């Protein structure tokens, strides 16, 4: 199965080298050459795995990693660095890096690490396709098309159910309105519509959202389902 991989590298030769190798392995590759471009690309179209250089223009790989982790706590991130310094590796791992590769590296080693981490993504994806999705006290049964909140049934329309399922399959992840439109309504839906905001309000009413928000509004970015 082809995966989307974001390669963040400001040296064109290295970026091209990685892109060609991973494309040959059947993956869809997106390349970003600086920190802001990397974050913007990931927010617009989240990847299944990120290969991230430490030294970048704009802001460095540590800041990119920190911002990516605000949107997706689980996506595998392999950091590349020319530095052999232990403090840099520790800093990256503390910020949430999944793995570390020191330059210069053999492509075969990088590809093996990519395959290893993508197998983990595959297993998580298969688990997420089960008939039951649970986040905190919310339980969604796909086979029966039922939702329970702390053991009590909640009546939802078909579209509300689809929206809740989409949010529950991405717990803790900030989802833009466009992502939600694409995932729940389909890419043909008018992006200028406020239908996402309307249905978020419907859903909040039905699942008892209050000041301790279960569906958080992340200003200027979108919405996030949290396990409160």
Per-residue pLDDT tens over the stretch 142-197: 878 889 998 889 998 888 888 999 999 888 888 888 888 877 876 555 666 788 99
Query: pLDDT tens digits, residue range 80-106?
Result: 987 666 777 888 888 889 899 988 899
Shared domain for 13 and 31, answered yes or no, is yes
Shared domain for 110 and 142, answered yes or no, is no
Q: What is the DSSP letter of 175?
A: B
Shared domain for 139 and 97, answered yes or no, is no
91 with 63: CB under 8 angstroms?
no
* Beta strands, E only, the chain: 4-8, 28-32, 49-53, 77-81, 99-102, 132-135, 138-141, 146-149, 152-154, 215-218, 222-225
Describe the crossing of helices 158-168 and 195-206 by its angle, rounded to 10 degrees.
90
Shared domain for 17 and 104, answered yes or no, is yes
CA distance 140 to 132: 6
Shared domain for 19 and 51, answered yes or no, is yes
146 burial via Cβ count (<10 Å: 0-12, 13-18, 19+): middle
């Amino acid at each position: 199965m082809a995966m989307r991989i974001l390669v963040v590298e400001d040296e064109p030769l290295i970026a091209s080298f990685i892109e060609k190798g991973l494309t040959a392995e059947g993956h869809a590759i997106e390349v970003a050459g600086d920190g802001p471009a990397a974050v913007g690309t990931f927010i617009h179209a989240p990847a299944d795995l990120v290969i991230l250089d430490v030294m970048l223009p704009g802001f460095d790989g540590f800041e990119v990693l920190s911002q990516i982790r605000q949107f997706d706590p689980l996506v595998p991130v392999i950091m590349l660095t020319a530095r052999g310094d232990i403090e840099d590796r520790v800093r990256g791992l503390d910020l949430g890096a999944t793995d570390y590769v020191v330059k210069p590296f053999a492509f075969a080693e990088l590809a093996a690490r990519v395959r290893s981490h993508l197998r983990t993504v595959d297993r998580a994806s298969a688990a997420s396709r089960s008939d039951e999705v649970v986040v905190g006290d919310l339980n969604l049964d796909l086979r029966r098309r039922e939702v329970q909140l702390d053991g009590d049934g909640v009546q939802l329309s078909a579209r509300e159910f689809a929206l809740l399922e989409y949010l529950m399959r991405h717990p803790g992840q900030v989802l833009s309105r466009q992502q939600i439109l694409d995932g729940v309504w389909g890419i043909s839906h008018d992006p200028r519509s406020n239908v996402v905001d309307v249905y978020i309000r419907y859903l909040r009413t039905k699942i008892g959202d209050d000041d301790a928000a279960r569906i958080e509004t992340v200003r200027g970015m979108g919405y996030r389902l949290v396990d409160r």
